[in-house]
Amino acid sequence: MKKLILFELRKVFSKRLSLIVLVGILLFSVLISFSTYQNKYAFDGVSAEGSGKTAVEIDKEIAAKYEGILTDEKVQQMMNDFAPTHDLHGLNAMYLYQNATQSAAFSRFSDKEGNWNGLSVSDVFGNEEIKIGYVDGWLSTSKNMVRVFIVLALAVIIMLAPIFSGEYEGVDNIILTSKYGKTKCATAKVAAGILTAILTTALVAAFNLLLALIFYGTEGLDCSILFAPSDYAEGFIPFNITCGTLLKYQILLAFTCTLSVTGITLLISAISKNQIVAFVASMAIFLFPVLLPITEANSLFRLIGLLPLHHVQAVSLLSVEQMSNGMLYAVWAIPTALLFLGIGAVISRRVFAKHQVSYIIRTEPLIADLREVREQRP
């Protein structure tokens, strides 16, 4: 059985389309990560200014000056250090951007003119203890992962759509007469599909984390996501979790998404007799939630948010609720994924096996006729 699973796994990864998809998603990860890195900008308010690597170094240096638990004293120091020195010409200072730390402070503690708005740390964050530091790099990585993991889910669909449907286009004639065609072959295909999703997700997640480490280093993983630049402040996750915890949830949700998609694709592939139909149908089911007019504010989102697409979009699902045990509501994606995968795996195996049985039954009359003709020969 082990050899049969490895054989099916090699079939998936040896296809040219699978290799193109894998290389493509890795190149997409490099492109989006490098583009984000190069577009970074920072100004220390005095003389140091730059983009890309220079901007990251400036941001890290400034963040190190204030790192630790956020206090009212640190807020006052930031407001003084980053006070505008020129006319803003009507620009709201809350959206002024000089560097990541200044943007995080002004988006919460500044009025329109760049003066302190009178709010204390407890006014903004309640009783939460907010650890601050360099988080801009990791939050950028988190935003990029949303796009990368959506492409990853589509890649898994492309790789697995032919796993059963491809056999119906002639090759199943050989499988049906083989010793293990009815039982072990179907099981091996399901196992290979699951392993494909797991291995591909692990590769893509690890590759993106490696890129983040290369570009931004390890600083800030233990800092809160709440004290972040203005472009993260609106609509971001409202819970006091660290950047490291955020990335763990996102990677977990990437696995639950691809496993859910695997269950769906296995089922569609077994039902369909055509690879293109299997691909289009699986893709349509995955993207269907986009068409639903249900926002995060709707109580139904607690259910709709557990559909695979929302797993990789992450932010909306992670924003639903922080439960009494400290875990986020998003962990319900785990049993949801197991349900999708279980149903897809069981039904696809049975459908493929029935196809084999029906084929064997259809050939029996033909065999009987051939024997009769042979016996009637002089």
Cross-strand partners of 279: none
- Written in H, E and C, the secondary structure of 204-263 is HHHHHHHHHHHHHCCCCCCCECCCCCHHHHCCCCCCCCEHHHHHHHHHHHHHHHHHHHHH
**Segment 209-217 long-range contacts (CB within 8 Å, at least 24 positions apart):** 209/141, 209/247, 211/29, 211/30, 211/33, 211/141, 212/33, 212/137, 212/138, 212/141, 215/33, 215/34, 215/37, 215/56, 215/137, 216/37, 216/56, 216/134, 216/137, 216/138, 216/140, 216/141, 217/60, 217/137
Dist. CA 69–CA 57, nearest whole Å: 22
Q: What are phi and psi of 143, to 5 degrees?
A: -65, -40
Per DSSP, helices labelled H in 52-126 are 53-66, 72-81, 100-109, 121-125
What pTM did the predictor assign?
A: 0.86
Dist. CA 6–CA 144, nearest whole Å: 33
Residues lower than pLDDT 70 in the chain:
168-182, 233-235, 355-378
pLDDT of residue 92: 80
pLDDT of residue 170: 55
pLDDT of residue 56: 94
**Dihedral sign, CA of 53, 54, 57, 62?**
negative
Q: What is the DSSP letter of 296?
A: T
The 3-state DSSP class for residue 304 equals helix
Dist. CA 248–CA 283, nearest whole Å: 26
Dist. CA 309–CA 254, nearest whole Å: 10
pLDDT of residue 377: 52
Using CA atoms of 18, 19, 23, 25 in order, give the dihedral in degrees to the nearest 10.
10
Dist. CA 138–CA 33, nearest whole Å: 11
What residue segments make up the domains of the chain, in order of their start?
Answer: 2-36+135-361, 40-132
Q: What is the DSSP letter of 331?
A: G
pLDDT of residue 266: 94
pLDDT of residue 153: 96
